[in-house]
Amino acid sequence: MSSFDLIVRGGSVATAVDVMRADIAVKDGKIAALGSNLGDAARIVDATGRIVTPGGVDSHCHIEQLSAMGVVNADTFETGTASAALGGTTTVIPFVAQHKGLDLATVAKDYHALAAKGAIIDYALHLIVTDPTDVLLTEQLPELVKAGHGSIKIFMTYDAMKVDDEQVLDILLKARELGALVCAHAENHGMIKWMVQRLLERGYTAPKYHAVSHPRGSEAEAFNRLITMSELIDQPVMIFHVSTEEGAATINAARARGVKVWAETCPQYLFLTAQDLDKPGTEGAKWCCSPPPRQARDIEALWAALERGDLQTITSDHAPFSYDEKGKLSAGPNPNFKQIPNGMPGLQARLPLLFDAMVSKGRMEITDFVRLTATAPAQIYNIADRKGSIAIGKDADLAIWDTEKEVTFTDETMADATGYTPYVGMTVKGWPTTVVRRGDVIVDDGKLTGTAGTGQFLPRTGGKAAAPTGKIAPEFDPALNFGAKLI
């Protein structure tokens, strides 16, 4: 009898710190040995000449979710996680999305049922809180965090989703008590609303004006406000989808003065610009996401922020809407930009785009690629005991890269259910042709072999990333501690 279930043989194994020649032996879904001459296994995967990385961890993606406009994502958990797997990702963190008036505990049950039925890869779930009632804060949130949802997402914009500043403070304080990480979509709601109205009144309705309606300063302003609130409560925040140079500078300044703020960006802000929205007719709708893609100088500033470590993760923010009456054109064939659901697909394209830019074109090191796309998200969201690296005892989640394979993105070749890719026409070098999840080969020579319903839920607490620094203000302002008890 073979001693191992699987050996991945002959590859260059890349982690966030090292690249080494090693075979990887797997037993019962876990990495059991690293080295050479590891003996026999029930299955051997030949990785000679290939790079083996940890399977990607995509810590911000929307799957089977109802959008702010009431339109449902194009993907089910099955199609979304199939596309993720085909792009080298083995763990996702999508959302339990409360809409105002809905009962968060019921919504959580619904998303768990969808994920359990469809997921091909493993998943954790963030909680989206839009309606922080007393019952939610004092009863439901403690239960749900205890049940393994260690992160809470808030929106500072979108009429249907936004919480106001007082509610942000309530949620930060509750997260502090529960040890959960608060993640935020931070843009200044008033600035966007005011711009939208002026643009529409003047007849500027085409998709490209979506980019104009989100002034770049609306991002840095909201970041600064959020960070200031996070300092008051001494509770860390994760800022989602940083898109501007000024936004990145705001985070840099906060981190430089010792504030515990985490941040991510996404491929749409590293590879696309606002010009992509400028297409004939309504086609630009495909590139409408929030915040919108910006300018070339923002792209350079975001790469610099990644290099400095001010941004710790790159996620897809996969939010797929088909380009038809069920999705982008649900308001009719000629929607104004405000009627277009926000978001674009990216679960499958994320890793190949980044591998091409960082590894094949040499923008950063392979170790940086692994850190930004797998190790750091696993650490920040507290699943690193199992995910995000190649080490003995971790789950055997692997992506095996053919570094010479060139792929040109077309709408037809993407596996998700959106029907288009915003990266159409771009050619990348390097592709994850074999993907292993807990020791099972779920993508074999570019073909999906994993099955729906085999993904596992990853319960977690907020962990270290969510812990207060202890340096700031348990009583909100120690310099003015006149004995007021505020917590």
- Of 44, 36, 2, 37, nearest in space to 20 by CA: 36
By beta-carbon proximity to ligand DUC, the closer residue of 162 and 260 is: 162
- Of 161, 155, 165, 101, nearest in space to 133 by CA: 101
Within residues 238-297, the interface with ligand DUC by CB under 6 A covers: 289-290
Q: Which partner in Zn ion, ligand DUC, none is near 343 (CB below 5 to 8 A by kind)?
A: ligand DUC
Does 397 help bind ligand DUC (rule: CB under 6 A)? Answer: no
Least distance CB 62 / ligand DUC (angstroms)? 5
Strand-strand pairing, 12-14 and 4-9:
unpaired
Does 185 help bind ligand DUC (rule: CB under 6 A)? Answer: yes
Least distance CB 289 / ligand DUC (angstroms)? 3
Site size for ligand DUC (CB under 6 A):
8
Name the DSSP letter for residue 479.
G
The two structure tokens encoding residue 171: 């949620």
Least distance CB 239 / ligand DUC (angstroms)? 13
From candidates 54, 132, 284, 343, binder to ligand DUC by CB under 6 A: 343
Does 59 help bind ligand DUC (rule: CB under 6 A)? Answer: no
In 95-137, alpha helices (H)? 104-118, 134-135
Least distance CB 325 / ligand DUC (angstroms)? 20
Does 62 help bind ligand DUC (rule: CB under 6 A)? Answer: yes
From candidates 76, 342, 348, 389, binder to ligand DUC by CB under 6 A: 342
Task: Print the binding letters for residues 306-325 with ligand DUC: x by CB under 6 A, - otherwise.
Answer: -----------x-x------
What DSSP letter does each residue of 129-187 carry, written as one string? -S---HHIIIIIHHHHHHTT--EEEEESS-TTT---HHHHHHHHHHHHHHT-EEEEE--
42 neighbors 4 (Cβ within 8 angstroms): yes
- Of 463, 467, 468, nearest in space to 59 by CA: 463
Task: Print the binding letters for residues 13-52 with ligand DUC: x by CB under 6 A, - otherwise.
Answer: ----------------------------------------
Least distance CB 60 / Zn ion (angstroms)? 6
Q: How far apart are CA 54 and CA 435, in angstroms?
A: 9
Please state, in angstroms and as integers, the Cα–Cα distance from residue 470 to each residue in 143, 258, 354, following that order: 25, 11, 36
Q: Given the rule CB under 6 A, which residues bind ligand DUC?
A: 62, 185, 289-290, 317, 319, 342-343
